[in-house]
A and B are shown apart, each in its own frame.
Chain A
Amino acid sequence: MALKTEELVLNMGPQHPSTHGVLRLEVQLEGELVTKVTPHLGYLHRCFEKHAEAMTYPQVIPYTDRMDYLASMYNNFGYVIGVEKMLGIQVPERVEYIRIIMGELQRIASHMVALGTYGLDIGAFTPFLYLFRDREKILTLFEITCGARLLYNYMWVGGLSHDLHPDFERLTREFISYFRPNIDELNNLLTYNKIFVERTANIGVLPKETAINYGITGPNLRASGLKYDLRRNDPYSIYDRFDFEIPVGEGLVGTVGDCWDRFYVRVLEMEQSLKIVEQALNQLPEGDINEALPKRVKPPKGSIYQRVENPKGELGYFIISDGTVNPFRVKVRAPSFVNLAILNELSKGHLVADIIAILGSLDIVLGEIDR
């Protein structure tokens, strides 16, 4: 007689240590195997788009901070260059360089949290402590620049809130030489760890074509083997002046596009970001940072879709102006929001524990998904 089986529904979250915030997953299981994952979002829906309509253009910047709170600098970045394009402002060279330095430092900090918490999800506690130790050093750099640790409101339309601290350049160079060897330390500690590789290699393989159709961007897309980075493919600011590589997944320990690749691409990206910061520091010109600050931010009628390469992927702002001081509509194309939609596709046929590995490797931030 055949064994009678039935489907089991398992609920994960919103309070779950591995869902990176307040995400709820409804998992349907056939024995130990996952047949369907339904994410339920909105537990952190903070009405960003409604606020954007009620605020003036500069007032929206602090709210962009609070979307992807691990990459606040970059959220500012995308929004201000969008508004600047609408106004037709050209910011001074020094501002462009400082923005790039801050953006790339923020990318490193964001990847540190991604990698650290990913280790935590898989069961490795030590790398988390090591990475947070180093992340504090970046936060110190931000703090001496603008006084805030996490949410900066640093980039303004047409300029910056503060110029660099006199010590900034020295401290950043010190940080770069301090952090470079630590990447190897991380690799020895976690990346090539036998247990870690067993948990992540060949899990959640994402083919290139599926990724493109789902609109996946950022490290998750590059891990699938496509060399696509907006800093190169649709250059904004002054990224075309720097020499850096775009790391892609190669399937060193498993298949191209598995969880391990998504992890490793981030490790490699940290190195490249250090390289960009170094070059930008070498070329940093003198000048007045507030030269181009407009008296009133009142863009003419029109719309713009501005996208930048956020640490998580393509961050897009679709801004419509009706000619007043308030935006008519700001829609955010949040990278995590789009990246999370692939979860069901990736998890099918894997074990319950692998959902955690897959979810962690996508590196989502709920503040951005729910906005």
Chain B
Amino acid sequence: MITRFITEVNAKFNPFSVASRSTRLFLSSLPSDARSTGMKINAKLLPQTSKETASLMVKFKDGKEMDLNGEQLGIKGIIEEVDRHSRALQKQADLTDG
């Protein structure tokens, strides 16, 4: 997964729900030096009894915000969506750098 262009990740999930699995896995797929390279990662855990669905918000360097529904997409879908935008940014960055 291309994580260079992500500036902020906000996740909210109930760990006792099976549906929140992909959101949790997305957090674990971020690199180990993500925080030290300037990415803001906020994870909020919901209580066991809450029926709220898991939510994941990803913000990119160009200001685009992406609200991803982990329950429908699954971890592969989330990574695909994030990478689609990251690849465009990568292309732009390559062109401007020369």
Q: Do A and B come from one complex?
A: no
Binding site for A on B (CB under 8 A): none
Interface residues of A (CB under 8 A from B): none
